């Protein structure tokens, strides 16, 4: 006798839903109640955010306050403060262009085709120079604007990107030093990393912004903004160094031995064999660290910088829009979301790309 074996056919979508959520009466009831709650909440949110919301500034704050839904007029009226902070009104196009420069620089350096030493250096060099010239001016016919007037999104992006650009290479150096064969080097590095990690970020920012100028000669101290960036990069690198070191520990010892046996020098082994594999291991935690750092930029308000969150406070804080803080925070949250979510998705893309060749 011949037997014909047929794989059991997969249930249809409706049948699958019925089995999962409506198999027994009590289960069906719970499913229905949950569904109703979700629909209700979604309706309330949409109603507030869109259907009953006011979008134009024509009626002024009063008409807006009377509306049942969200008052997006506050954004229409105050978006410049949120995005550009205290930057002079007529010059704000420069701040906008500077934001674009930073975003383009970041996006370009995320594209694998730019991952050669020369191209990445070019992108970063041109990007930061463009940002600096646009923001600061004082040359090429642009009016001078001091760092104390920078603010909003442009400042948040600048602090985040420079923190990472300085902090990341520093983290790799610290991680390499910590696994040095010379005990006094590895122990000293370990002390530095653990020391920085045991301090709160706020205290480091405060020290670099306020205390350091007393300790350093004038010419070395530089502007407060750059000291704060150095402080935050140091903080970033202490955490990131441990992430990189963890990634290095995941690379089998045989990899370095094989590279040695082929006659590669220390830096060739680090650059071609150890780091590429270590970074792949460390990628999820690294993206995590980037996300945290992006959000931590809001702490610079402590030392007197108006990054995007503080600019938002200023946007609704002046009299007439005082009632519309929820809308302002929702708007800022949306901006954070766009950047952080893109970062996470990029991390997922990298993970897929790097896992090529693994079974």
Partner 1 sequence: MNSTQSPGAAVRIENLDKYYGSFHALRKINLSVERGERIVVCGPSGSGKSTMIRCINRLEQHNGGRITVLGTELNDDVGNIDGIRREVGMVFQHFNLFPHMTVLENCMLAPMIVRKQPRAEAEATARRYLEKVRIPEQAMKFPGQLSGGQQQRVAIARALCMQPQIMLFDEPTSALDPEMIAEVLDVMVTLASEGMTMICVTHEMGFARRVADRVIFMDGGEIVEEAPPEEFFTSSRNERTRQFLSQVLGH
Give the residues lining the site for partner 1 (CB under 8 A): 252, 254-255, 257-265, 268, 272-273, 276-277, 280, 354, 356-359
Indicate the residue among 92 and 277 with the shorter CB distance to partner 1: 277
To the nearest whole angstrom, how small is the minimum distance from the Cβ of residue 263 to partner 1?
Answer: 4
> For residues 308 and 335, is the Cβ–Cβ distance under 8 A?
yes
To the nearest whole angstrom, how small is the minimum distance from the Cβ of residue 350 to partner 1?
Answer: 13
Indicate the residue among 12 and 254 with the shorter CB distance to partner 1: 254
| Assigned token pair, 48 | 């507030």
Indicate the residue among 24 and 359 with the shorter CB distance to partner 1: 359
Indicate the residue among 62 and 358 with the shorter CB distance to partner 1: 358
DSSP annotation of 274 reads I
Cβ density class 158-178: b for 16+ within 10 Å, e for less: bbbbbbbbbbbebbbebbbbb
> For residues 276 and 50, is the Cβ–Cβ distance under 8 A?
no
To the nearest whole angstrom, how small is the minimum distance from the Cβ of residue 359 to partner 1?
Answer: 5
To the nearest whole angstrom, how small is the minimum distance from the Cβ of residue 264 to partner 1?
Answer: 6
**71 phi, psi to nearest 5 deg:** -110, 80
To the nearest whole angstrom, how small is the minimum distance from the Cβ of residue 249 to partner 1?
Answer: 16
Indicate the residue among 143 and 258 with the shorter CB distance to partner 1: 258
Indicate the residue among 276 and 284 with the shorter CB distance to partner 1: 276
Residue 44 to residue 319: CA distance in whole angstroms: 28
| Assigned token pair, 281 | 């291991």
To the nearest whole angstrom, how small is the minimum distance from the Cβ of residue 178 to partner 1?
Answer: 22
| Assigned token pair, 60 | 């002024």
| Assigned token pair, 266 | 């220390």
Candidates 308, 251, 318; CA nearest to 282 is 251
Indicate the residue among 34 and 355 with the shorter CB distance to partner 1: 355
| Assigned token pair, 159 | 């602090």
Candidates 270, 72, 236; CA nearest to 168 is 236
> For residues 341 and 87, is the Cβ–Cβ distance under 8 A?
no
To the nearest whole angstrom, how small is the minimum distance from the Cβ of residue 220 to partner 1?
Answer: 37
How far the first Cα of the chain sits from its last, in Å, is: 40
To the nearest whole angstrom, how small is the minimum distance from the Cβ of residue 248 to partner 1?
Answer: 14
To the nearest whole angstrom, how small is the minimum distance from the Cβ of residue 16 to partner 1?
Answer: 35
Residue 81 to residue 198: CA distance in whole angstroms: 35
Indicate the residue among 188 and 277 with the shorter CB distance to partner 1: 277
The H or E element containing residue 295 is: helix 275-296
Indicate the residue among 220 and 356 with the shorter CB distance to partner 1: 356
Residue 324 to residue 237: CA distance in whole angstroms: 38
């Amino acid at each position: 006798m011949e037997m014909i074996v047929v794989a059991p056919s997969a249930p249809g979508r409706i049948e699958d839903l019925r089995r999962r959520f409506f198999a027994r009466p009590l289960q069906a009831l719970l499913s229905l109640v949950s569904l109703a709650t979700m629909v209700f909440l979604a309706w309330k949110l949409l109603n507030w955010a869109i259907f009953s919301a006011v979008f134009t500034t024509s009626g002024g704050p009063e008409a807006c306050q009377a509306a049942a839904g969200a008052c997006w007029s506050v954004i229409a009226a105050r978006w410049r403060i949120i995005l550009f902070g205290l930057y002079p009104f007529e010059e704000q196009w420069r701040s906008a262009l500077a934001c674009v420069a930073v975003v383009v620089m970041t996006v370009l350096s995320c594209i694998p085709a730019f991952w050669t030493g020369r191209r990445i250096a070019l992108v970063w060099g041109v990007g930061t120079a463009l940002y600096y010239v646009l923001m600061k001016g004082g040359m090429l016919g642009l009016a001078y604007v001091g760092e104390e007037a920078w603010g909003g999104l442009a400042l948040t992006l600048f602090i985040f990107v420079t923190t990472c650009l300085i902090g990341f290479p520093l983290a790799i150096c610290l991680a390499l030093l910590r696994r040095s064969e010379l005990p006094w080097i590895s122990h000293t590095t370990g002390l530095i990393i653990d020391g920085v990690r045991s301090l709160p970020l706020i205290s480091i920012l405060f020290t670099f912004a306020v205390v350091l100028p007393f300790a350093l000669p004038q010419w070395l101290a530089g502007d407060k903004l750059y000291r704060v960036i150095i402080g935050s990069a140091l903080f970033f690198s202490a955490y990131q160094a441990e992430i990189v070191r963890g990634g290095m520990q995941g690379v089998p010892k045989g990899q370095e031995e094989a590279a040695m046996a082929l006659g590669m020098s220390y830096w060739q082994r680090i650059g071609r064999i150890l780091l590429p594999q270590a970074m792949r291991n460390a990628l999820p935690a690294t993206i995590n660290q980037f996300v945290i750092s992006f959000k931590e930029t809001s702490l610079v308000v402590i030392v007197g910088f108006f990054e995007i969150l503080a600019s938002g406070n200023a946007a609704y804080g002046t009299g007439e829009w005082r009632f519309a803080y929820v809308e302002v925070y929702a708007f800022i949250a949306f901006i954070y979301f766009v950047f952080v979510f893109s970062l996470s998705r990029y991390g997922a893309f990298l993970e897929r790309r790097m896992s090529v060749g693994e079974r």
